[in-house]
Amino acid sequence: MSAFPLHFGKYLLLRPLAKGGMGEIYMAGLGQIGGFEKLCVIKKVLAEKADPSKAKRFLDEAKVVLRLSHSALVNTFDAGEVEGEFYIAMEMVEGKDLREVWNQCVRQRQRIPIEVALHVAREVARVLAYVHGYGDLKLVHRDIAPPNILLGYNGDVKLTDFGLARSALKEEKTQPGVVFGRAAYLAPEQARGEEADGRTDVYTLAIVLWELLTGQQYLPISGLDPSAGLALVRHPKPTPPSIRAPWIAPELDRVVLRALAPDRQQRFQSAEEFRLALSDVIAKVAPRTDPARVVELMQAVFQDVINKERAEREHLLKDVIPAFRASSSAPPARERPTQPSVAHDKPRSASQSNRTPARTVHATPKPPGPREENHDGSDGMRLPGVTPVPVAVDGRAAHREAALRVLAELAAEDAAPTPSPVQARK
């Protein structure tokens, strides 16, 4: 495997972040002027390794996300193809996904604060309201789950990964009865193969909130065989979070249970309605809910990681990227002559000496010849292979200056060291 960094179109791939069945995700650099580089994320699919259905799904995602812009969405600003590999370029969020936050809290035996749980749910509901109502796309995410919710070290909450989203733009249509998504975060209608809508995302977000509040899995299907697990998902029996976490207030119980109604007609009918209900209950049971609580949690459980990642980013921006760009833009090594060639018949003028030499090999210099009188009457050395041209007396100084310049440049060219492989690398 090639060492990093690697050129990828107008980007530099710096290191891999994740790899899946149809593509890869990389930390990348963008910018061609020193000091103006910006770190980003490249998500690409290997066209030759992906079946047509997956390739279409990837392109459909690019069509969707390039239209969207929201503070709680991971910004996607570019898409294209490089040597048969499709890609989308996204902002790099300095933080972790919610699954990693959960796991780190478990390792450190810490509970996710209720303020953080409620803030995450309200922010995702806010961005879902934007997504569902964007133009006439009729967009549904269909994969609201901890790995697709990012928590920034600065308190940001961002939704990502529209690979399973359904919208009017998508070329690849879901076949009737086909189930997409993570089994533990499927709405009953998804598990039955029915068409998803905005209320489907409300349900799966409610599962995430229930798990954050209780610290337990909502549907424990990991130990079940697939048919039994699917049956449980299709016909769930909602449990109030206070059963597992007695400190949960009754009004919060009611909001979560309504969002988890198996019949979507009984749920909140939009993400905005869910967001408003969460805001009302937050004002009563957790008034300190805000991004600062997310910052406190992230700094508490990831302090060493934050410092390490910050140092890595500084190293990439100040050392790795500038050094790589400098080495890859260096001129290639000059080829040494294998056979003597005929030298130029005419002297180069001062203006010609500033141009890129047209020779491909160097002339073999002749041994010093007899000293003879220059055309200006002075005693000097004849330039090898150069036929003297008579010059008027009043132009003697200019001719002598041009001849000396040519001699110095030829000597410098022949004495120039050959660049190292690193310097010559493109």
- The residue ranges of every structural domain in the chain are 6-325
Q: Which two tokens stand for residue 235?
A: 């016909």
Buried-state track 324-354, b at ≥16 Cβ within 10 A, e below 16: bbebeeeeeebeeeeeeeebeeebbeeeeee
Q: Domain 6-325: which topology? A: Transferase(Phosphotransferase); domain 1 (1.10.510)
Q: What is the mean pLDDT of residues 223-249?
A: 91
Task: Return the SS3 of 373.
Answer: strand
Q: What Cα–Cα distance (Å) separates residue 419 from each residue in 42, 212, 320, 357, 359?
A: 33, 59, 20, 17, 18
Alpha-carbon gap, residue 196 to 189, rounded angstroms: 7
- pLDDT, tens digit, for every residue of 239-294? 999 999 999 999 999 999 999 999 999 999 999 999 999 999 999 999 999 999 99
pLDDT for position 164: 56
Whether pLDDT at 321 is above 60: yes
Q: Picking from 38-47, 204-213, 284-293, which range would have the lowest pLDDT averaged per residue?
A: 38-47
Q: What is the pTM of this model?
A: 0.72
Whether pLDDT at 365 is above 60: no
More confident residue, 141 or 53: 141
Mean pLDDT, the chain, rounded, equals: 79
- pLDDT, tens digit, for every residue of 87-136? 989 999 999 999 999 999 999 999 999 999 999 999 999 999 999 999 88
Q: Which two tokens stand for residue 318?
A: 């100040």
Task: Give me the active site residues, please.
Answer: 143
- Residue 246: cis peptide before it, omega within 30 degrees of 0: no
- pLDDT, tens digit, for every residue of 372-423? 444 444 444 443 444 444 444 455 565 566 656 655 665 555 555 544 433 3
- pLDDT, tens digit, for every residue of 324-354? 888 876 555 444 444 444 444 444 444 444 4
Alpha-carbon gap, residue 12 to 112, rounded angstroms: 37
Q: pLDDT above 90 covers what percent of the chain?
A: 49
